[in-house]
Structure 1
Amino acid sequence: MTDEAGPVDGVPGRSAAPDLRASDRERDQVVEILQVAAGDGRITAEELDERLDAALSSRTVGELARLTADLPSDGMPPQAAELIRIDQRFGDVSRAGRWLVPRRMEIRLMFCEAKLDFTAAVITHNTLDVDLNLRVGGNLLLVTRPGIVVDTDGLERGSGEIKIRPAEPESPTILRVRLAGESRGGDITARPPRRSFTEVVSRRKQRTDG
């Protein structure tokens, strides 16, 4: 990291006023940049922890800027793609890890499964519109996390099952996935991630002790 302050939120003049007090929004932007950088392998887990602590305790724009001075995108969060297309026949396809959720997706599947895992995904807006065309053997799996709502009201279904686990009512919505198009033989499943054996045992023990 360098000692030179750079722009944090793209507002002209920020770099000229490093002693300006930082806002919560600016801290949140830097936290997101750091998390994405760690997911891309640009900084280590130890560096991430160190910089996150510094970001949350930073008082000025200059302090925040130093934390991202050696990272790309000029201190701005990554921009989501407008559209991602997946056209797959045979063989499975997935989006997992710290992938950047686009604004729209077009998914065409036959004799394969597409998995969209949102548990560690980078979400920069509150809706994802998915245009589906599921044929025989074309299945879609959505792995959700608290705050993700899946809406199938715009979907035409001929055959195949739709299993949508209800969102947790106490969690504020961070992303609404709106499925539209048609399913003519494929299954659609939306569920939280599977718990490991250790997590299952721990959860049962907590219920017993409670």
Structure 2
Amino acid sequence: MSGGSVQDGGLPGVAAALELRASHADRDRVVDVLSIAAGDGRLTAEELDERVEAALTARTMGELAVLTADLPAEVGGGAVASGGRAKDVVRIDQEGASTRRGDGWVVPRRMEIRSAWGEVTLDFTQAVITHDTLRIDLDIRGGSLKLLTRPGGVVDTDALVTHYGKIKTRRAGGLDVPVVLRVEVVGELSFGQVVVRAPRRVFGGKLTGV
């Protein structure tokens, strides 16, 4: 496969995302995408072997993205490779329930969250980020929204209206870390809380949101 580069569309957040170090989960997702493409006849056996080897030794998200840049969006998942495409709007509507988005979920442009006496957890540590901004339209009445951030993640709650609610925020990483994703939380919070923090580390260095 000939070398190439991924166009970032001039968005500094996307460019910074492509420079992030890739995890084992990121590499595994790209291998899955390549295997599906080969099964569809889009890649030859030789191309598959070459790209899988490159994926397993990739250091950054940009190096992974190059491997799927010539595949359709529904296969390659866009600029930052994933198993699916980012939706424009994702809605969560629940009452007395718990919802969690964890490893490998694709962050959309906007989320509408309506929750009564329940909990919503959005874990960005292993999420696939294809946009540099996420807007969350929030309506929580009793319960909580938990945002587990990663270095380069910034959460803005200045436009959130609270009624007997609490907001706890803590940025992941130092101030010199490039912004990869800016989350804007707007709407209303009544008798609940919004918690923003990095995931906790437990024995063995594993990250957990518990």
- TM score, norm. by length of structure 2: 0.66
> Equivalents in 2 of 1:116, 1:64: separation in Å?
28
Task: Report what 1:73 is aligned to.
Answer: 74
User: Share of identical aligned residues, percent?
Assistant: 39
AA partner of residue 173 (structure 1): V
Pick from 157, 173, 176: which aligns with 1:152? 157
The Cα RMSD (Å) is: 3.6
AA partner of residue 89 (structure 1): E
SS at match of 2:3: coil
Task: Report what 1:103 is aligned to.
Answer: 109
Task: Report what 1:23 is aligned to.
Answer: 4
AA partner of residue 168 (structure 2): K
Task: Report what 1:122 is aligned to.
Answer: 128
- TM score, norm. by length of structure 1: 0.66
> Equivalents in 1 of 2:105, 2:123: separation in Å?
9
Pick from 141, 149, 152: which aligns with 2:146? 141
Task: Report what 1:84 is aligned to.
Answer: 90
AA partner of residue 171 (structure 1): V
> Equivalents in 1 of 2:87, 2:126: separation in Å?
17
Task: Report what 2:44 is aligned to.
Answer: none
User: Which blocks of at least 5 consecutive residues in structure 2 are unaligned?
Assistant: 8-17, 37-48, 60-65, 79-83
> Equivalents in 1 of 2:99, 2:33: separation in Å?
20
The answer on 1:164 being equivalent to 2:169 is yes
Structure with more of its chain in strand, by fraction: 2
Structure 1 or 2, whichever has the larger Rg, is 1
> Equivalents in 1 of 2:33, 2:4: separation in Å?
26
Structure 1 position 139, deviation (Å):
0.5
> Equivalents in 2 of 1:92, 1:38: separation in Å?
31
Kept after mapping to 2: 8 A contact 1:34/1:51:
no
Number of residue equivalences: 166
Kept after mapping to 1: 8 A contact 2:27/2:56:
no
The 1:87/1:161 distance shift into structure 2, 3 A limit, reads same
> Equivalents in 2 of 1:84, 1:76: separation in Å?
17
User: Which blocks of at least 5 consecutive residues in structure 1 are unaligned?
Assistant: 1-17, 57-62, 201-210
> Equivalents in 1 of 2:126, 2:88: separation in Å?
20
Kept after mapping to 1: 8 A contact 2:120/2:146:
yes
> Equivalents in 2 of 1:91, 1:39: separation in Å?
32
> Equivalents in 1 of 2:100, 2:34: separation in Å?
20
